[in-house]
Amino acid sequence: MRRVLGRAMPHFLVAALFSLAINLLYLTSPIYMLQVYDRVLASGSEATLIALTLVAAFAFLALGLLDAARALVLNRAGIRIDEVATRALYPAVFERPSAAGATQRAQAFRDLDTVREFMAGNGLTALFDLPWLPVYLAIIFVLHPLLGIVTSAGALVLLALAGLNELLIRRSTGLAVESTIRNHAALESGLRNVETIRAMGMLGGLTAVWRRGRGRQIGLQAIARDRGAWIQSSIKLVRLMLQSLVLGAGAWLVIEQQVTIGVMFAGTILATRALAPVEQAVGVWRALIATRLAYRRLDRVLEASGAPGGDATALPTPQGAVSVEGLILAAPGGDKPILKGVSFQVRPGEVVGIVGPSGSGKSTLARLLVGAIRPSAGAVRLDGADVYTWDRADFGRHVGYLPQEVDLFPGSVRDNIARFGPATDEDVVEAARRADVHELILRLPKGYDTPLGEDGFRLSVGQRQRVALARAFLGEPRLVVLDEPNTGLDSEGEVALARSIQRLKRAGRTVILVAHWPRLIKLADTLLVLRGGAVDAYGPAEEIRARYLAGAAGAQAAQAQGGQLVPARAAGAADG
């Protein structure tokens, strides 16, 4: 984040120069007052009064223009921060650990908005003006030491109140911000699953849970506001009292004939101006705390993303050889690893089926095979190169992936198949033909240009699956990983899927299938059986099928006779 703010530093420097000029021009009023009382009234010169008034009017006009210009420059600084940060932040949130949910990832952009708005708004303006407090105090001391002492005492009281304000509201404001984030996450989760909530009558229970969280959030915010209100009221009271005290001290000095009436009024105006930034700073203190917390979260996201650089050396087109070497993935927040030392080799053009009981790590392995997540130890290599550190844009050209939970993005059918990239129409249509979904797409309201998403056409589960399959087949992928690709498909879709895999097989593409469906498993040359996160068996498909089918049959016979003829690991292991 320091580098991000550094890119906007020229704007901040210009704003600081404008602040210098603005605060110098704020001296116009006390100087004008001093000259009118001490020179114009004493001399009775109307010409001098007119000249002074014109100069003051010009200075005030410049003050207004510079103040507006500073606001415009800070606004441009906010735009620059957003441009620079989003260039790194958007890829970074997708590189966050898988334990971070979508809401946590989206929070990074809300944090960016918080930082940008503070930097482009009144918050930074108040901080720019605050350093001028000692300058105004020095000028007041020049007018008379007593006026300077009274103003300095008031400034110390205001600064002490500002420090007390920080101590009182920092913790409650921080907790309120974190509570707000959690409540937004709960609300967004509910909105994503509204049909399930309505169908199963969960609205009342979820409403109660959300309201409890909401109540805690509002309570913490109320504590911060209540404490802040007391401090702000105290600061306003001190400032008003100090204004009167300076005026009274100035009047006493006039009576004692130590200063003129002009000095008395000029000192009062300067004291008011000197202490105004302190009051403004306290007014934006809650925003400052929220910005500080948002800044730290953004810093962690950008530092922990581990996103590969965009200038990586382009690797040659792979042949499709996959090497899995001692793969270990620790469970987030758990003691047991999801995968335990998984190792195997896949030859180019080979079709490998991955089977095993639920929870054995099949889908996790599929995600690791395409570099979607980082392993805790070990590596997955495609033609010798680590798939996780491979430049993602370059890697994506050679790989097709169909996740277990398919989702399409707002845009047209064509955009989704083209992966929102520069693919030609011919490439998109060819990918749809490979997935045997071209005819289905032509029957949609606008064919390939049918819009999808919240406000677009809603595809069925099977249609989404087949469009996503076409997306996986775009271009000339050398490695295709399909995780439960028949989910939601009808018999026609399953037949089309089998034909698509056969085409890939004939084309010499490496295909890795996570599947239970017997027809798909029969297409595999090799089977990998996972159990408890470890490789239970790996070898030719016919041999593995024979072994596990025989084991399952033996287990059933033994159970019928009350005996245990088959090893426990073999019983029930035939997932297709």
Give the pLDDT of the chain (576 residues) as one tens digit per residue. Answer: 788 888 888 888 998 899 889 988 988 888 888 888 888 887 888 888 899 899 999 999 999 999 899 989 988 888 888 888 877 777 777 665 444 455 566 777 888 888 888 888 777 787 788 888 888 889 989 889 998 898 888 888 888 887 787 777 777 777 877 787 777 777 766 776 666 666 666 677 777 877 888 888 888 878 877 877 787 788 778 878 888 888 898 889 888 888 888 888 888 888 888 888 777 777 777 778 788 888 888 887 777 654 444 456 778 888 889 999 998 988 766 667 888 889 999 999 899 999 888 888 898 999 899 888 888 889 999 999 998 888 877 888 899 999 888 888 888 899 989 988 888 999 999 999 988 899 999 999 899 999 887 655 678 888 888 899 999 999 889 999 999 888 777 788 888 888 888 888 888 899 999 987 667 778 888 999 998 889 988 999 888 877 775 554 444 443 433 333 233 333 333 333
155 and 274 Cβ atoms separated by less than 8 Å: yes
User: 3-class SS at 259?
Assistant: coil
Angle at 540 between CA 536 and CA 543, to 5 degrees: 80
Q: How far apart are CA 79 and CA 63, in angstroms?
A: 24
Res 381: pLDDT: 92
Q: How far apart are CA 473 and CA 400, in angstroms?
A: 6
Q: How far apart are CA 478 and CA 509, in angstroms?
A: 5
Residue 194 is encoded by which pair of tokens? 């509204």
- Burial class from Cβ neighbours inside 10 Å (0-12, 13-18, 19+) for residue 149 reads middle
Q: Which residues of 68-84 are buried (b: 16+ CB within 10 A; e: fewer)?
A: eebbebbebbbebbbeb
Res 414: pLDDT: 92
Q: What is the three-state SS of 197-245?
A: HHHCCCHHHHHHHHHHHHHHHHHHHHHHHHHHHHHHHHHHHHHHHHHHH
Helix intervals (H) in 256-372: 261-283, 285-304, 362-369
> What does the CA dihedral 423, 424, 426, 432 come to, rounded to 10 degrees?
30
Res 480: pLDDT: 92
CA-CA distances (angstroms) from residue 93 to 301, 365, 451? Answer: 7, 22, 26
Identify the CA nearest to 302 among candidates 106, 118, 108: 108
Residue 359 is encoded by which pair of tokens? 């929870």
Q: Cα-atom radius of gyration of the chain, to the nearest Å?
A: 35
Quickly list DSSP for 369-391: HTTSS--SEEEEEETTEETTTS-
- Burial class from Cβ neighbours inside 10 Å (0-12, 13-18, 19+) for residue 62 reads middle
CA-CA distances (angstroms) from residue 23 to 253, 265, 277, 309? Answer: 27, 18, 11, 45
Helix intervals (H) in 398-490: 413-417, 425-434, 438-442, 461-472
Res 382: pLDDT: 92
Residue 27 is encoded by which pair of tokens? 């001296």
Please name each of the domains of the chain with its CATH number: 2-304 (1.20.1560.10), 322-537 (3.40.50.300)
118 and 288 Cβ atoms separated by less than 8 Å: yes
Q: How far apart are CA 29 and CA 59, in angstroms?
A: 9
User: Which residues have C-beta within 8 Å of that of residue 508, sequence separation ≥ 6?
Assistant: 320, 348, 349
- Burial class from Cβ neighbours inside 10 Å (0-12, 13-18, 19+) for residue 461 reads exposed
526 and 509 Cβ atoms separated by less than 8 Å: no
Q: What are phi and psi of 421, to 5 degrees?
A: -120, -165
CA-CA distances (angstroms) from residue 169 to 174, 227, 297, 392? Answer: 8, 7, 19, 44
If you ran DSSP here, which 8-state letter would residue 38 be given? I
451 and 483 Cβ atoms separated by less than 8 Å: no
540 and 523 Cβ atoms separated by less than 8 Å: no
483 and 538 Cβ atoms separated by less than 8 Å: no
User: Which residues have C-beta within 8 Å of that of residue 311, sequence separation ≥ 6?
Assistant: none
Residue 76 is encoded by which pair of tokens? 């441009």
Angle at 461 between CA 460 and CA 462, to 5 degrees: 90
Residue 440 is encoded by which pair of tokens? 């289905």
364 and 380 Cβ atoms separated by less than 8 Å: no
Residue 189 is encoded by which pair of tokens? 């989760």
Give the strands of the sheet with 385-386, arranged side by side: 337-346, 322-330, 377-382, 385-386
Return the residue matching tokens 């819009």.
451
Res 423: pLDDT: 87
Res 192: pLDDT: 63
Q: How far apart are CA 214 and CA 432, in angstroms?
A: 47
Res 553: pLDDT: 42
What does DSSP say about strands 385-386 and 337-346: parallel, antiparallel, or unpaired? unpaired
